[in-house]
Chain A
Amino acid sequence: MRLENRWRFNVLAVLFGLAGVIIFIQTIRLQIIPAGKAIRQEGDDRFQGVLLDIDAPRGQIYDRTGHLLAGNKIVYEVGIQLEYVEEPSAIAQVLNAVLGMDYYEALDIANIPYNEEDAVYAVVERRVPAEKAALISSFIEQWVERKESGVQEGNLDGLVIFPYLHRNYPEGDLASSVIGFVAFDEEGYEEIGYYGLEEEYNDSLAGTKQKVWVPFNPNYVTETRHVPTGVSLVLTLDRDIQMMVEDMVDKAIEDYHALSATIIVMNPENGEIYAMSSTPHLDLNEFWKLGEVYPPEIPFNRGVSQAFEPGSVFKIFTMAAALDAEKVTPETTFDDTGSINVGGIIIKNWNEDAWWEQDMIGCLRHSLNVCLAWVGTQLEADLFYQYMNAFGFGTKTGVDLAWEAYGRLKEPGDGDWYPSDLGTNTFGQGVSVTPIQLIMAASAMANDGKMMVPHVVRSIIDGNSQYNIHPQVAGQPVSAETARVLTDMLAISLEKEASSATVSGYRLAGKTGTAQISMGKAGYTKDRTNASFIGWGPLPDVRFLVYIWLEKPTTSIWGSEVAAPIFPEVVEELVVLMDIPSDDVRNALFSQ
């Protein structure tokens, strides 16, 4: 080595040495200073992978035969990545042309200045259908081609579109009040369930929203966690029975000009609800019309959320209690003089007439308030309310639907209970119940005294396993013998009195109800009623229990004239859909 070149090597050596020292110091600094951790993390995040919010597909909802009632379909979200926007007017033009969005509104969004902290991405529109999404994609593709050929005009950089799964209800408004719907929450960030099953089972259906680390390094690919989908539900509802019931509900509104109509069909043996419908119906695919369809005072599902005074259908529980407590028998007679004084108020019959000597079947058959009030006095308050509590009035049934109401059963000891309430409560006045409470209580009569918890979910499918939900007994308010006797009494009274509620070939039990509507301190309306009917059959092996409630019908105020005629119409369809032959055929088959 020549001496004159040595200094060059020395300079190089010093430079390399310095670089080494700087690298060493920086390495130590990054390891020691607190900010170094953040810098390292940023490096990791940027170069090693990405943390993604992954929403598992929402679980599906099927009817009992496997028909899809709520599924998911691909829709698109159109958005703008503000960092990359170069020509906002071009983006606004596309959004205006394809989505029909106001040009200036779109321009305002595209003009939002990028800010790493709080303005990175702007949602333009969600639930964009596939056709429009394809059109936007083609615009973006055309721009990419133009860009490659050097053209600068019509820059759509920043405009993005991506697919996601959105709730779809193939049956539209069928069982809408049971299912509920899915929409974005108030912050517009997360889709959640509203009303019905979608709300009640939201956490399970939605699955767990997870932050998943997706590494760029393919060697670590197996470390990516799998995000499981939400659970799916198989309902007890039968799509065909539900459709039939909904048609009946609509027909009832049309025929009797009622304010609302509700029908529930349940299997009293296990509490499975086959159908539940109440007006109005909302097309769940257009959930944003909720405000139009449901004025604020109307509950989404009257079947579980609206309590009202049930009227004479309540007499079956009073009679059941008296029979069970052995205060009366079907043969017990009562001399109905047309009025009775209970707790200081005079109670009269529906027609204000005297019906003279009646046995207990006659009392039910003619729906005599005076007779039932007398039955109540035989029970006395403590025993009467003990039975009513056992029937579950005033408490939730535990049905697996959101927004269940309590109803109200005033009892001795409550500040607003008076001795006269015993008299009026016996025939369903001064007590408020929900349709689901009534049908659960009545299931005791149709199921040998055992009251079943109503439910609409039959199975839960989690991954590759199906959990079947087993029927639950809510209690046994009366004995099997009492239930059978009362059912027989109701069947006889139905056959003799409300002929409009009978079905040829099938023995059924049932009771009408007509309840005047309370106006608070102003008393009760005369011309507006809650008309109802509860019935079950075929006897003796009961397969269905039907409750019908019409709110304020105008063609007639009487349950026997508006609600009772709907019952045989429902049953005639029901026996076909459920493959239940007539009594003669069944008896012939069983006797073989």
Chain B
Amino acid sequence: MDRSLKIFQAYKKTPWRRQLQVIGLVSASVVFVAIVAGVYLNVTARAATYGREIQSIRRESREIEREIEDLQSHLANLTSARDMKKRAKDLGFISINPVTAVYLEIPTYPEEQPIELAPELRPPETPLVPQLPPQYTQSLFEWIREAMYKISLKTGAVE
């Protein structure tokens, strides 16, 4: 009996070992939570930074668009038809007389065409479907299901 008690006591954890175990467990949990929190904080902080940047860029983009419109107007003011005509006159240009005008034939010279400010809208040549590979579009569940389906095809479970 004494012998078995001695063996039991020998294997029984000492109070300091128990304390150490608890402290270790708590510390591990704290470290785990800290790591998760740190990762989360890092990701959130980066997302927030980029978000702010996007907000700022959008604001800047709106300002630039506004400025572009303003500059286009300004340029058009400076090159208005009447101003250009006056400048041409001041430079000594005179209007052509249709009777005395000399026309030369230039076979490849294209007739002046109306302006094209953007590509003309035509029906799309390729179907309007996402071009991204399925890895970027399917969910994890879909991916697993597809993988299992492929495996089953290989093993002959499904024909």
* CA–CA, A545 and B114, complex, Å: 19
Partner of B118, one of A168, A222, A458, A464: A464
Known: A234-B117, A576-B95. A57 touches B105 (CB 8 A): no
Contacts of B98 in A (CB 8 A): 503, 505-506, 572, 575-576, 582
Q: Are A218 and B51 closer than 8 Å at their CB atoms?
A: yes
Determine the distance from Cα of A576 to Cα of B99 in the docked complex, in whole angstroms.
Answer: 10
Contact B72 A468 (CB under 8 A): no
Q: Does A224 contact B (CB under 8 A)?
A: yes
Interface residue A4 (Cβ < 8 Å from any Cβ of B): no
- Of B55, B76, B103, B119, the most chain A CB neighbours within 10 A belong to B76
B70 with A74: CB separation less than 8 A:
yes
- Given A73-B70, A171-B80, A243-B82, the answer on whether A576 and B44 have CB atoms closer than 8 Å is no
Contact mask for chain B residues 112-138; partner A; CB cutoff 8 A; 1 contact, 0 none: 101111111100000000000000000
Q: Report the nearest A residue to B118, measured CB to CB.
A: A466
Give A91-106 as 1s and 0s: 1 = Cβ < 8 Å from B's Cβ atoms: 0000000000000000
Answer yes or no: B87 CB below 8 A from chain A CBs. Answer: no
Contact partner, A71, options B47, B58, B76, B115, Cβ 8 Å = B76
Measured in the bound complex, the distance between the Cα atoms of B85 and A240 in whole Å is 9
Interface residues of B in 17-40 (CB under 8 A from A): none
- Known A170-B73, A243-B81; contact A74-B51, beta-carbon cutoff 8 A: no
Q: Give B79 Cβ to nearest chain A Cβ, in Å.
A: 8
Tell me if A64 is interfacial: C-beta within 8 Å of chain B: yes
CA distance A506 to B118 in the complex (A): 37
- On whether the beta carbons of B48 and A219 are closer than 8 Å, the reply is yes
CA separation between A463 and B121, bound complex, in Å?
Answer: 11
Binding site of A, secondary structure by majority: helix, strand, loop or mixed? mixed
Chain A contributes a number of interface residues (CB within 8 A of B) equal to 57
Contact between B99 and A219, CB atoms less than 8 A apart: no
Chain A, Cβ-Cβ closest to B67: A74
Task: Decide: B55 and A221 in contact? CB cutoff 8 A.
Answer: yes
- Min CB distance A135 to B, Å, is 19
A482 part of interface (Cβ distance < 8 Å)? no
CB of B65 within 8 A of CB of A466, answer no
Contact status of A68 and B72, CB under 8 A, knowing A222-B54, A459-B117: yes
* Any A CB within 8 A of the CB of B96: yes
Determine if A253 is an interface residue (Cβ-Cβ < 8 Å): no
A239 to B82, CA, bound (A): 10
| Cβ contact within 8 Å between A219 and B115 | no
Determine the residue in chain B with the shortest Cβ distance to A71.
Answer: B73
Which residue from B51, B70, B73, B95 sits with its C-beta under 8 Å from A221? B51
* B66-A163 in contact (CB<8A): yes
CB distance B120 to A466 under 8 Å?
yes
Contact A64 B82 (CB under 8 A): no
User: Is the CB–CB distance between A172 and B80 below 8 Å?
Assistant: yes
- Per-residue CB contact flags for chain A residues 66-82 toward chain B (1 = under 8 Å, else 0) read 11100111100000000
Q: Give A229 to B65 CA distance when docked, in angstroms.
A: 10
Q: Which residues of B contact A465 (CB under 8 A)?
A: 118-121
Residues of chain B with a CB closer than 8 A to A243's CB: 81-82, 85
Besides A73-B70, A573-B95, 17 new A-B residue pairs in contact (Cβ under 8 A), listed by A number:
A62-B115, A65-B115, A71-B73, A74-B69, A171-B82, A218-B52, A220-B51, A243-B81, A243-B82, A458-B114, A459-B114, A464-B119, A465-B120, A505-B99, A506-B98, A579-B112, A582-B98
User: A-contacting residues of B (Cβ < 8 Å)?
Assistant: 44, 47-52, 54-55, 58, 65-67, 69-70, 72-77, 79-82, 85, 95-99, 101, 103, 105, 111-112, 114-121
Interface residues of A (CB under 8 A from B): 57, 60, 62, 64-68, 71-74, 163, 165, 168, 170-172, 174, 217-222, 224, 229, 232, 234, 236, 239-240, 242-243, 458-459, 461, 463-468, 503-506, 572-573, 575-576, 579, 581-582, 585, 589, 592
12 residue pairs from A and B, CB less than 8 Å apart: A57-B66, A68-B73, A165-B69, A170-B79, A218-B49, A218-B55, A220-B51, A221-B52, A576-B101, A579-B112, A585-B103, A592-B105
Top 4 A-B pairs, shortest CB-CB distance: A218-B51, A170-B76, A66-B115, A68-B76
